[in-house]
Structure formats: structure tokens, C-alpha cells
Structure 1
Amino acid sequence: MQALVLERKGELSLRDVDLPLAVGPGQVKIAVHTVGICGSDVHYFTHGSIGPYIVEKPMVLGHEATGTIVEVGPNVSTLKVGDRVCMEPGVPDMSSRASKLGLYNVDPSVTFWATPPVHGVLTPYVVHPAAFTYKLPANVSFAEGALVEPFAIGMQAATRARIAPGDVAAVIGAGTIGIMTALAAVAGGCSRVFISDFSKEKLAIAGGYDCIVPVNAGEESLADVVARETENWGADVVFEASGSPKAYGDLFRIVRPGGAVVLVGLPVEPVAFDVSSAISKEVRIETVFRYANIFDRALALIASGKVNLKPLITGTFPFSDSVVAFERAAAGRPTDVKLQIEVVSENA
């Protein structure tokens, strides 16, 4: 079957691959329908690596996926053929110490789609554990279901923040994860979320949501806006979602005394960290790596209608145009938030 293959840094091809599709106990076979293009997919394409994860041989891309179950293995009772589903892309070793602590997202032996050397799912079929496959409610489309994965990161961030009803939050970065984090913060009880970026187009999308206040970083600093709007007290929670080392300069100016800073964006180089300012305010610092025990809750929020992710889908491509879709994603158009590819197998 065909797949979108990252042959090496900077080179993509849509070609035939031979991937294992035998369905074992506790597994299901899924005809893939929609796959979102993640920033990590693009980074592997443009840079060939992310930290210790290096593309050393051809790899199928894609991990934000939905589809339809076409085969069910032994010992699967919660899903059936014909179910529309979304899939949690990381499968941990449930006997590991991390998993036993409920921290399977940081299990060193986790198998995560499209993370070298593990293949992703931009291909017509995939086999996956039923335990990490979730039935889509009737009112959630395939496209929305493919947004559960990035929204789960925002949910993980909001959960780590320990938001209290009425809190004021600030988000640095209005990319996909930044907006997802802002939406999760509002759903978690924040009364206002200030979100900053240099992109007027992305800020316009974020500002279309209730309780989210866009701040153009090219015109005014987020620290100044938050200070003015909170009578110089600061935000209860600050989420760093840009991954930019420059964002760390103002982190502890933005947060209130005793507040929380949640690090979501992953810098590609070491950052300067103002320890003295953090200590003087007794700031609680949290970090986020993917998510754990949250995928079903993210899906439930989307299904409830409390979180509308449809405005974030800014482009949809047929499977035959997968290379074109990635080239556009790599171009970083300011109007693009989330691009998706419809694989749509003939048997789906």
C-alpha cells in the first residue's frame, strides 16, 4: 500500500511500502481517514531530527489520525467493525515504572507514531491496540477527531497548571498548540486568556473565541498588557507555547507571585532562565511532554460542544497531494493553523 515517506531530511515521496497489518489479540485494524500535519512531522521533514530522535532511515509520517475499524482481533469487546475512531498515537509498556505511576507519556520505551524509528499513519491502513483507540461520537467528524491529539497536549498543560475557576492566564505563542492550550484553559475555568504572537492572522483566529484576548507582540509586550489588565498583579498561570528562547525573558514578569509557569513549547537550544525572579515570586514551574490519561477527556470536551476546533482547520488535502501539503506546512503561512490530509481508503 502507498504511504507518505520521509526518505531523508528534505525529501518526501508517496510510494508503496510494506508494513505489518496482522491483527493480534487486543488490536484493531483501521482504515485511515484523516491525518493532521503536526509541527513535529514538519520538523523531521525540514531538519531531520528533534533532539535525540534522528531520522536515520525512511519513515512514514503522521500521528494525528482518525479512521474506521475494518477488523477486530481476539479479546476486543469495546469496539466493532464500522466504528469511527480516533487513535492515541503513543503506546507505552504498561509494566514499566513510569506507566505504573500513571506517567506513561514519559515511559522511555513508549512506541509513538512518526517518531524515529517508528512509522506513522499516513497510509491507508494501520493496526493499533484497542485500549488506545477511541470511538468518535456521532457529532464529531473525522476532521475534528484528528484534532483530539493536539488538543490533548493543551489539556495536559491546563491540567498541570491546576487552574482555579476565574483564573487569568497568559499564553505565549498562537500556533496550533498555543491556541489549543488557550482553549483548554478557558474550558478549565479561566475567565480570560491573553495570547501573544507576531502573526496577526493567527491572533485573529484566536481572538474569535470568547474569553481569549489577542496581543500583538510586535506592537505591545504581553507582560505590559497583563500588568495593565490585572492592576500590576500578573497572570495566575503563564503557558510558554512558542518554543522560542526569547520568550523566557518575560516569563516571570508576566506571572503573579505564587502563580504557575507551564512550559509547553520545546526549545531547540538551551535557554536563559531567570532563577532569581522565579524564586522571589515563589513561582511553581511545570513541564509538559505529550499527555497521559487525558485523550478520552479531550474527546469528551470536543463532543460536548464546549470546545469548537473547527476554525483551526485551515486547509485539507487529498492523499495524492500529501507532498504538496507538507511543502505548504513547511512554508509556514501565517494564515495556516492546522492542515490535514484525507487518506480515505476505498474500504473505509
Structure 2
Amino acid sequence: MKALVLEKQHELSLREIDLPLDVGATDVKIKIDTVGVCGSDVHYYTHGRIGSFVVEAPMVLGHEAAGTVVEVGSAVTSLKVGDRVCMEPGIPDLTSRASKLGLYNVDPSVVFWATPPVHGVLTPYVVHPAAFTFKLPDNVSFAEAAMVEPFAVGLQAAVKAKIQPGDTAVVTGAGPIGIMAALAALAGGCSRVIVSDLVDEKLAIAARYPGVTTVNIRREKLADAVAKATEGWGADVVLEASGAPQAYDGIQNVIRPGGCLVLIGMPIEPVKLDVSSIAAKEIRIETVFRYANVFDRALQMIASGKVDLKPLISETFPFEQSVAAFERAAQARPGDVKLQIKL
């Protein structure tokens, strides 16, 4: 099949490649309709690696996907041919200790699309376990369904934060995951979310949503803005979604005593945390790596109308222009949130 292949760092091609399409008893075959361009895909393109995951051989990109079932395995009863679906891209070992603890996202043996050496789904057809394939409600489009995967990251953060009704949350970083974390926090019960960033265009996109206020930290200190908004008490929850080492400087000053810090972004270098100040306020720290047991809930939140991700889709490219889509994503234009490719 034709696929978008990362040949090596900085080199993409749209070409034929042999990919397995054998449908096992518990699998389904899916005709891909829409795939989102994720920051991790772009990072592999521009840097050739993310941490210990290194691109050492040609790899098909893409893991945020939706499509239509065209074949089902002999043991599949939950899906049928013609069903519109989205797919959770990580396949864990369900017999592993991590999976038995409900932590399959950190299972060392998980097989995750477009993570070296595993091929992704920017190709016309894929085979996937039915257990990690979710039927779309009629009111959810393919474009929205391809956003379930990144929204699940934000929802995982909201779940880990243990948000209480009426909480005030702060999100540092107004990229795609930051905005989705803000929306998940609002849907999870927060009365308001303060989103910070350095770029006005990104903040303007976040500010379209009711309940979101923004702070440009080039012009105002985040701690001052939060203190003003909370009468000096601090935020109940801080969701760090930028991955910028600078975001950690003084972050404890933004959080109320007994509050929670959730780390979503992946810094590319070690960061410094003031542990003494964090301990003195008994701030709880949680971390996020992908998601577990929230994918179906993310889909239902979109279907219910509680979360509207359509405004975050900046542009859709045809499959034939996949390379151009990645070149555009690598430019990191301030007004872009999510680019998608339609097959």
C-alpha cells in the first residue's frame, strides 16, 4: 500500500510499502479516513528520536485516526462491517502486571503506532484489535473522531488531578494538548481554567472557550495573575502541558496548599523543582504518559457536546499532500492547533 514513510530524520516520502494486513480472530480491518498530525510525529520527523525511541529504519507515521470497518475477525461480536470507528493506538499485553493493575499505558511491552519500530496508520488500511476499536456515535464526524486520541491525553490529566466541582485550574502551554487539557478540566467540573503561554495567537484560540481566561507570561507573571484571580489562595490544580523547563520555575507559587500539579509535557532536558516549598504546601504531584481506560469516555464526552474540538482543526490536507502537511506542522505556525490528513 501507499503510505507516508519517514525514511530518516528530515526525509519523508509518500510511497508503496509492504504492511501486514492479516485479520486475526479478534481483529478488525479498517479503511482509514482521517489522521491527525501529532507533535510526536513531527518530532520524529525533525529530530529523528524522542528520548530512547530512535528512528533507525523507515517508519510509517500517524496514530490519531478514524475510519470504517471493512472486515471483522471470526471472534469479533462488538463491531461489524460498515461501522465508523476510532482506534486507541496502543496495544498492551493484557496479561502483563501493568495491565492487571490498570496501568497498561506504562506496560513496557505496549505496541504503539508510529513509535519506533512500529508502523503508524497514514496508509489506506490497517488491522487493529477490536478491543481497542470504538464505534462512533452518529453525530461524531471522522475529523472529530481523529481528535479523540489527543483529547484522551488531556482527559487522563484531568482524571489524575482528581478535580472537584468548582475547582480553579491552571494550564501552562496553549498547544493542542494544553487546550484539550483545559477543556477536559472544565468538563470534569472546574469552574474556570487559566491558560498561560508566550504566544498571543495560541491564547486567542484557547480564549474562544467559555470558562477559559488567558495570561501571556511575556507581559505578566503567572503567579501574580493567579493570585489576583484567587484572592491570593492559588489554583487547586496546575496542568503543565508545555514541556518547557522554564515552566517549572516557581510553579509551586501558583498552587494552593494541598493542591495538585500534573505533569503532561515532556521536557527535553532535566528540570529543577523546589521540593522544600512543594513539601511545605503538601502539593501532590501526578504524571501523565499517554492514557489508560479513558479513550471511550473521551469519545462520549465529544459525542455529548460537553467538549467541542472542531474549532481546533486548523486545516485538512489530502493524502497526496501529506508531506506538505508535515512541512507545515514543522513550521509551528502560531495560529495552527491541529492539522489533519484525509485519505
TM-score normalised according to structure 2 size: 0.99
Partner of 1:140: 140
1 CA distance for matches of 2:216 and 2:342? 33
Structure 1 counterpart of 2:166, one-letter code: G
Deviations along 1:71-104, one digit per CA (max 9) or x if unpaired, are 0111000100000000000000000000000000
1 CA distance for matches of 2:56 and 2:42? 16
Superposed, 1:197-346 pairs within 5 Å as 197-343=197-343
Partner of 2:56: 56
Q: SS of 1:33's equivalent? A: strand
Deviations along 1:293-313, one digit per CA (max 9) or x if unpaired, are 000000000000010000000
Partner of 1:120: 120
Deviations along 1:128-185, one digit per CA (max 9) or x if unpaired, are 0000000010000000000000000000000000000000000000000000000000
1 CA distance for matches of 2:324 and 2:108? 34
Spell out structure 1 runs of 4+ moving beyond 6 A: none
**Alpha-carbon distance, 1:273 to partner:** 1.3
Query: Does structure 1 residue 175 correspond to structure 2 residue 167?
Result: no
2 CA distance for matches of 1:238 and 1:39? 22
**Alpha-carbon distance, 1:214 to partner:** 1.2
Partner of 1:111: 111
2 CA distance for matches of 1:9 and 1:96? 33
Partner of 1:185: 185
2 CA distance for matches of 1:181 and 1:250? 21
**Alpha-carbon distance, 1:250 to partner:** 2.4
Q: SS of 1:43's equivalent? A: helix
Q: SS of 1:224's equivalent? A: helix
2 CA distance for matches of 1:17 and 1:253? 52
- Range with greater deviation from structure 2 (270-279 or 125-134): 270-279
- Asked whether the 8 Å contact 2:250–2:274 carries over to 1, the reply is no
Structure 2 counterpart of 1:329, one-letter code: A
Deviations along 1:311-340, one digit per CA (max 9) or x if unpaired, are 000010000000000000000000000000
Structure 2 counterpart of 1:232, one-letter code: G
Partner of 1:346: none
Between the two proteins, the alignment pairs up a number of residues equal to: 343
Q: SS of 1:46's equivalent? A: helix
Q: SS of 2:213's equivalent? A: strand
Q: SS of 1:140's equivalent? A: coil
**Alpha-carbon distance, 1:234 to partner:** 0.2
Q: SS of 2:231's equivalent? A: coil
**Alpha-carbon distance, 1:55 to partner:** 0.3
2 CA distance for matches of 1:277 and 1:41? 37
**Alpha-carbon distance, 1:122 to partner:** 0.2
1 CA distance for matches of 2:148 and 2:199? 24
Partner of 1:160: 160
Partner of 1:43: 43
Q: SS of 1:34's equivalent? A: strand
**Alpha-carbon distance, 1:222 to partner:** 1.5
Query: RMSD value over aligned CA atoms?
Result: 0.5
2 CA distance for matches of 1:149 and 1:140? 14
Structure 2 counterpart of 1:23, one-letter code: V
- Asked whether the 8 Å contact 2:147–2:309 carries over to 1, the reply is yes
Q: SS of 2:252's equivalent? A: helix
2 CA distance for matches of 1:215 and 1:84? 39
Structure 2 counterpart of 1:246, one-letter code: Q
2 CA distance for matches of 1:49 and 1:274? 30
**Alpha-carbon distance, 1:28 to partner:** 0.3
1 CA distance for matches of 2:227 and 2:156? 26
Structure 2 counterpart of 1:143, one-letter code: A
Partner of 1:129: 129
Q: SS of 2:98's equivalent? A: helix
TM-score normalised according to structure 1 size: 0.98
**Alpha-carbon distance, 1:201 to partner:** 1.1
Structure 2 counterpart of 1:141, one-letter code: S
2 CA distance for matches of 1:250 and 1:308? 32
Structure 1 counterpart of 2:103, one-letter code: L
Segments of 5+ residues of structure 2 without an aligned counterpart are none
Q: SS of 1:293's equivalent? A: coil
Segments of 5+ residues of structure 1 without an aligned counterpart are 344-348
